[in-house]
Amino acid sequence: MQKISKNIRYYLFKILQSFELLRLRKVLKKEKTKFELFFIITSGRSGSTILRKTLMEKYEVHIAPESEEFIIEAGRVYLKEYSWERRVKRIINVFENSGINKLWGIDLKKVESKILEFPLEDQTFTGIIKEFYKEQSIRANNQSSIMGDKSPILSLKLKWLKIIYPKAKYIHLVRNGFDVALSRMENFNEDIDQAASRWIWAENEFFKNKKGLDYITVFYEDLVLNNQNEIERVALFLGLNSRKQRKKIRLEDEILRHHKKIKLPLSKIVENKTIKSDERIYLLNKFKKIKNREIINRYFKLNY
């Protein structure tokens, strides 16, 4: 009975989400998107912080610290309110309550004041979101017209992103599933099921929703072992200009415990770690059950 109840709740959630997406598409279709973020889509512990740091050091681009599900929750609020002032104030509350400003460090009163003064033609949902990212780039001493997001959780929200940012570019960052699982177990205290399932979930969501996406795939292993070529390839894809002069950029999220290695040279970040044979067999069997074989055959670099 409990299992049936869970299934009912799951399908009700899916139906509700479908209606939300349809409404959001209808609302945003009336607005002109003047701002496009780009997104690093990946499972956590796959090198998105390394990619972010290297891009910002070498090119004129800003990638904010992780935003979690702020964009999605802001979109939900935007649907429920109809006056500009109420929409803005509610979205400010969403951001404040999310806790992500501990890393972003922006002045929310200043952001709110700027957005409320937008001229009518600029009063759009993406215009609101842009102001948050713009203010964070100022805080980070890294203003740029090209901005991105690296939140791993957004790899599970591609249906929303495709509606909000229909012309966005995506970097599909992939790391060996064994290494991801091991890293998640060590850094997040996840059990082997949780760690493996998170990698599987992220990759499955990408393959289910990749149709119509403007994306490139980057392998973590190539990123750390052949960094210059991979970074240049990403920069070319995003249309970035080289940074004319180095300056001190505030990364903010380097204080997090699981980012403690980010200050090390890339050659020292890669470590040869071992997975117990019974764990390896368990993981391999779990990964082999993935419905989309392309993930294993093409994107999961295993020798077996």
Q: Give which of 142, 141, 137, 171 is closest to 60, Cα–Cα.
A: 142
Residue 111 lies inside a defined structural domain of this protein:
yes
147's enclosing H/E stretch is strand 147-149
Residue 251 lies inside a defined structural domain of this protein:
yes
The predicted pLDDT at position 272 comes to 57
The predicted pLDDT at position 288 comes to 76
Between these two residues, 58 and 289, which has the higher pLDDT value? 58
Q: Total domain count for the chain?
A: 1
Question: Whole domain around residue 6: which residue ranges?
Answer: 2-299
Question: What are the φ/ψ torsions at residue 233 (nearest 5 degrees)?
Answer: -65, -45
Q: Binning pLDDT at 50, 70 and 90, where does residue 255 land?
A: low
Residue 150 pLDDT more than 80? Answer: yes
Q: Give which of 7, 157, 179 is closest to 71, Cα–Cα.
A: 157
The predicted pLDDT at position 294 comes to 63
The predicted pLDDT at position 281 comes to 84
Residue 112 pLDDT more than 90? Answer: yes
Calpha distance 78→74 (Å, rounded): 6
Residue 10 pLDDT more than 90? Answer: no
DSSP three-state, residue 162: helix
Residue 304 lies inside a defined structural domain of this protein:
no
Residue 225 pLDDT more than 50? Answer: yes
Q: Give which of 105, 67, 99, 57 is closest to 262, Cα–Cα.
A: 57
Q: What is the pLDDT of residues 25-42, one digit of tens each?
A: 998 988 877 788 999 999
Lowest pLDDT segment from 68-72, 118-122, 180-184, 268-272: 268-272
Q: Give which of 27, 216, 33 is closest to 130, Cα–Cα.
A: 33
The predicted pLDDT at position 278 comes to 87
The predicted pLDDT at position 299 comes to 60
What amino acid occupies position 266?
L
The predicted pLDDT at position 268 comes to 64
The per-residue pLDDT of the chain, averaged, comes to 88
* C-alpha dihedral sign at 171, 174, 175, 180: positive
Residue pointed to by tokens 């050091």: 57
Q: Binning pLDDT at 50, 70 and 90, where does residue 209 land?
A: very high
Q: Give which of 177, 178, 149 is closest to 161, Cα–Cα.
A: 149
Residue 81 pLDDT more than 50? Answer: yes
Instruction: Label residues 17-38 b or e (16+ Cβ within 10 Å = b).
Output: eeebbeebeebbeeeebebbbb
Q: Is the pTM of this model over 0.85?
A: yes
Between these two residues, 10 and 86, which has the higher pLDDT value? 86
Calpha distance 175→178 (Å, rounded): 9
Residue 78 pLDDT more than 50? Answer: yes
Q: In this structure, what CATH number is given to the domain that contains residue 92? A: 3.40.50.300
Residue 249 lies inside a defined structural domain of this protein:
yes
Helices (H), the chain: 2-29, 48-58, 70-80, 84-98, 101-104, 108-116, 125-139, 158-164, 177-188, 192-209, 220-225, 227-238, 266-269, 277-288, 293-294
